[in-house]
Amino acid sequence: MIRRFFAAWWRYWFREAPLLDLAIFRILIIGLQLYLLVFSSRYNMVALTEVSEVPPFLYEPLFFFDLITRLLGGHHFTINEIGLIWGATACAGVAALLGLGTRLSVPLFAIGVSTLQLWTMSHGDVHHPEAAMMIALGLLSFSPSGAVLSLDAMMRREPGRATLQDQLSATSREAKWLLLLIQWFFGLMYLSACYAKLRYGEGHWANGITLQYAMAQDGLRWNPLLGLWLSHFYWVALAGQWFILFFQGTFFLSVVFPKLKWFYIPVGMVMHVFIYLMFKAPFFQWSALYFAFVPWSAIFVRLKALRRPEGFALADQSGGVA
């Protein structure tokens, strides 16, 4: 029984899969995070300097950041050191994006981003958009994400031997688990968000007014494009709330039944765009992580831009990289 469970577990997580999907995912999430790190007013050096200037009593190291500081002998980071980490992280990010020394540059980028985020969050304020990205980058470090679409792969390719098509069609048993894990992670996040609404809303959450309230509140706070305007429409809010409960509570089914991804993924992506337009909640990292669901290889094979990977049925992919 246990043996069968583990056999099924391995078949599920470590099945043969195209490396191209993983490489595209690497480029998209590292590209976005690098852009945010350098250009976003929420993550750049100006933002980090502002964090360093908040009153010292707000500094309460979170568990994982505490672990980092303890490993460094109880070290307390100065803003100059944070600046150095920021610069090194940006350099590692460029290398990871290009796929140069990927086995090293991706972990360095993940460690740098996570250290900066945990340091920021340890100064009295935790936010949600960054959390899933930290975990995804950390996991990416354990995957062969630079095996194709990378400078590493280009340098490995010997003239006259493996063609670019060969490389793009390459598969690996380690190419899938990360994408699947991100998908399950989304399922868990949405399910716990749905649970919170049922628990803390005490059965009254989906009453229409709750969403009107949230849209008016954030509309007045942050002046997003649609929030304040939409907060005047009760029936729209009521329908929206029931839809959110349904979507969050059942999203995990799309991981179990891959064909459902054709509904859940586009809808989820549009939903996060609307969340930004209604609340100005910047969940850009989540939008990028959604690309873990996109079966790039299958799309390219269908478009005849890519040869079908050997021993790999198109049907396996077209359900959404299940």
Partner 1 sequence: VVDGQTVKYSLLSALIGGVLLAQGVSGFRGTQYLTPFLSYPMYSKAHFEGERLDVNHRVYAVLKSGERRYIDPDEDLNVDFWRYERRFVTPLIKGRSDEVAPFVDAVVARYPDVTALEVDNYPMIITRAGPKPAPSQTIVRREVAAADRSPR
Q: How far is residue 40's CA from residue 37's CA, in Å, rounded to a whole number?
A: 6
Name which of 26, 25, 210 is nearest 100 in CA terms: 26
Q: How far is the CB of 189 from partner 1 (least distance, A)?
A: 6
Give 162 or 193: the residue with its C-beta nearer to partner 1.
193
Pick from 156, 199, 259, 307: which binds partner 1 (CB under 8 A)?
199
Nearer to partner 1, 91 or 181 (CB): 181
Q: How far is the CB of 169 from partner 1 (least distance, A)?
A: 22
Q: What interhelical angle do 177-200 and 19-39 show, nearest 10? A: 60
Least separation in angstroms between CB 305 and partner 1: 31
When binding is defined by CB under 8 A, the residue of 200, 303, 304, 315 that contacts partner 1 is 200
Residue 284 near residue 130, CB atoms below 8 Å? no
Quick count: other Cβ atoms within 10 Å of Cβ 99?
A: 24
Question: From residue 83 to residue 122, what is the string marking binding to partner 1 with x (rule CB under 8 A)?
Answer: -------------------------------x--xx--x-
Residue from 64, 247, 274, 276 touching partner 1 (CB under 8 A): that is 64
The residue from 17, 20, 30, 228 that contacts partner 1 (CB under 8 A) is 228
Return the range that interacts with partner 1 (CB under 8 A); candidates 73-81, 96-104, 132-140, 290-298: 132-140
Nearest to partner 1 of 39, 195 (CB atom): 195
Question: Distance between CA atoms of 134 and 132, rounded to whole angstroms?
Answer: 5
180: left (phi over 0), alpha (psi -120 to 50) or beta: alpha
Going by C-alpha positions, the residue among 164, 145, 185, 152 that lies closest to residue 28 is: 145
Residues 231-270 that bind partner 1 (CB under 8 A): 231-232, 234
Type and span of the H or E element at 171:
strand 171-172
CA–CA gap between residue 319 and residue 258 (Å, rounded):
5
Taking CB under 8 A as the binding criterion, the range among 98-106, 146-154, 216-224, 257-265 that sits at the site for partner 1 is 216-224
Told to check if 13 binds partner 1 by CB under 8 A, we report: yes
Q: Are 272 and 288 in contact (CB under 8 A)?
A: no
Whether the CB-CB separation of 174 and 14 falls below 8 Å is answered with yes
Number of residues this chain uses to bind partner 1 (CB under 8 A): 67
Q: Compute the distance between CA of residue 85 and CA of residue 119 in angstroms, rounded to an integer.
A: 11
Asked if 22 touches partner 1 (CB under 8 A), the answer is no
Number of Cβ within a 10 Å radius of residue 121: 20
Candidate segments 76-84, 184-192, 255-263, 307-315, binder of partner 1 by CB under 8 A = 184-192
Phi-psi region of 31 (alpha: psi -120 to 50; beta: other; left: phi over 0): alpha
What is the C-alpha to C-alpha distance for residues 283 and 127, in angstroms, rounded to an integer?
Answer: 10
Query: Binder to partner 1 among 75, 192, 243, 313 (CB under 8 A)?
Result: 192
* Residues found near partner 1 in the complex (CB under 8 A): 9-10, 13-14, 50, 53-55, 57-58, 62-64, 114, 117-118, 121, 124-128, 130-132, 134-135, 139, 142, 174, 177, 181, 184-185, 188-193, 195-197, 199-202, 204-205, 207-214, 216-217, 219-221, 228, 231-232, 234, 281
